[in-house]
Amino acid sequence: MSRKEARAAGFKTFTAQRACHLCGSRQRTVYTSACCGCKEVEKQRDKALVEKVRTQVLASARKTVLRELNREARDAAKAAEKEAKAKERQAAKLEAEKRRKARARAAARAARLASAPAKPQATATAEPPPWEGSPSLADDAAPWD
């Protein structure tokens, strides 16, 4: 069967009169007249090449992903360390402020005590308040009412 007859019949391949000079196959495609044996070898070679490239890309991608994960972990650790240091500084600042305020209160208290006059000692006989027994004021009224 010739190529024209195979094409007219709707076949995809036909048997050629001459064998392929590379692989020796007589089977050829109708549309391109390419050797089917060589085409199969080429497909296998391409498949192997694709698999090799895929393996290399995956290995490279794994390295890249691991590198990125390590970088993110380092960055997270640095951020956590920086935050911890900031919290320590804030706590130290608050503690110093508390100590400063306590010293200021103590100094103010000492100044008040130093400037306050001495209180007289209470006597055994206490004098009644001036409003008690006063005829001008009512019995229940205090001077400030």
Domain ranges of the chain: 6-113
What average pLDDT does the structure give for the chain? 85
Please state, in angstroms and rounded to a whole number, the distance separating the CA atoms of residues 81 and 87.
10
Give 121's pLDDT tier (boundaries 50, 70, 90): low
**pLDDT above 70 for 134:** no
Structural tokens at position 83: 């935050």
**pLDDT above 60 for 135:** no
DSSP label of 11: -
Give the highest mean pLDDT range of 27-41, 89-103, 106-120: 89-103
* pLDDT value of position 86: 95
Give 107's pLDDT tier (boundaries 50, 70, 90): very high
* Of 123 and 13, the one with more pLDDT: 13
* pLDDT value of position 31: 85
Q: What pTM value is reported for the model?
A: 0.42
27 membership: H or E segment, kind and range: strand 27-29
* Of 125 and 25, the one with more pLDDT: 25
* pLDDT value of position 141: 55
Q: Is 14 exposed, middle or buried (0-12, 13-18, 19+ CB in 10 A)?
A: buried
